[in-house]
Structure 1
């Protein structure tokens, strides 16, 4: 046990939903005292930087009820039980954008909010995009507008707070850094 580790003494399941569950853990702190931790459990997700042959980024505009506003985001979705992230990324790309890809590469994985949630997002880059004739459809409760933007347009969307979520901001800044390194 590291000097910072918190030992779980008990877990109380508060809520189990379609996407997340909430539990409250009583923990023993490194100093021997106890405290409570509210934890959201999430099955994990994927996000895809989908690049067209003309270097545009395929994004979706989607209403986010938790924020009561519409955001522009890279395609993303929740892992199904037992599903491999790469398989999920290909599926979500097709469902949300209608594109299939010739190549999909894992870029990185990151926790979205480790202070209270265990959601791990696996980020992929998809290239060699082709629009499918009979693409998989969105979930019945999912509605998106498809847009394709240049890196400059994506940076402007960030500036105007249309791109305002961490995974998409991370993706845009990754592309910006990649472009900057090319010019050196």
Structure 2
């Protein structure tokens, strides 16, 4: 299987490769190669949820979403979740529970998002966003978050998936 990197940006690459499908048909397929990410549902001791109001340059608008981030080389998803939670919210988790994973863009991207519930939060003053991040911390109840999803105000897929998984598993 021949593979060609068309473009590389940070740890993400656009790769074209010749593959054989299960029906023995040979095709050339283009995939965004992604190292994976962690998505964190931070729940405070009072039961509220920490969200980010984050400006997304690709969409040129603000999105309400859960903290998340790309895994560094050699980093496992739990370590990434701990790091991203601190960097984006200024809180660290005393307890981190795996909620499984989702594949958000399987038609053209190999990214796997690892979902986590973060509890027993305590302030950590290592808060430092990446250079290209503009973030405001928002706190809301689960009911408020569900209403914002239902009314279409929150459209971020990873946020909806992580909240759904935590709710269906009985964690919140």
Deviation for aligned residue 1:178: 5.2
Gaps of 5+ in 1: 1-8
Show the counterpart of 2:162.
171
The question of whether the paired residues in 1 share the 8 Å contact of 2:116 and 2:162 is answered with no
The structure with higher relative contact order (CA 8 Å, sep 6+) is 2
1:160 and 1:64, CA in 2 relative to 1: closer, same or farther beyond 3 A? farther
Match of 1:111 among 103, 118, 142: 103
Question: For the Cα contact (< 8 Å) 2:89–2:127, is it kept in 1?
Answer: no
Structure with bigger gyration radius: 1
SS state of the match for residue 126, structure 2? coil
Gaps of 5+ in 2: none
- Give yes or no for contact 1:12–1:25 (8 Å, CA) kept in 2: yes
Q: Which runs of 4+ in 1 moved over 4 A?
A: none
Instruction: Please list the CA deviations of residues 7-31 of structure 1 after superposition, one character each: whole Å capped at 9, or x if unmatched.
Output: xx32121001114100111222334
- C-alpha distance in 1, partners of 2:62/2:150? 15
Give the conservation status (yes or no) of the 8 Å contact 1:45–1:119: yes
Q: TM (normalized to structure 2)? A: 0.91
Q: How many pairs does the alignment contain?
A: 172
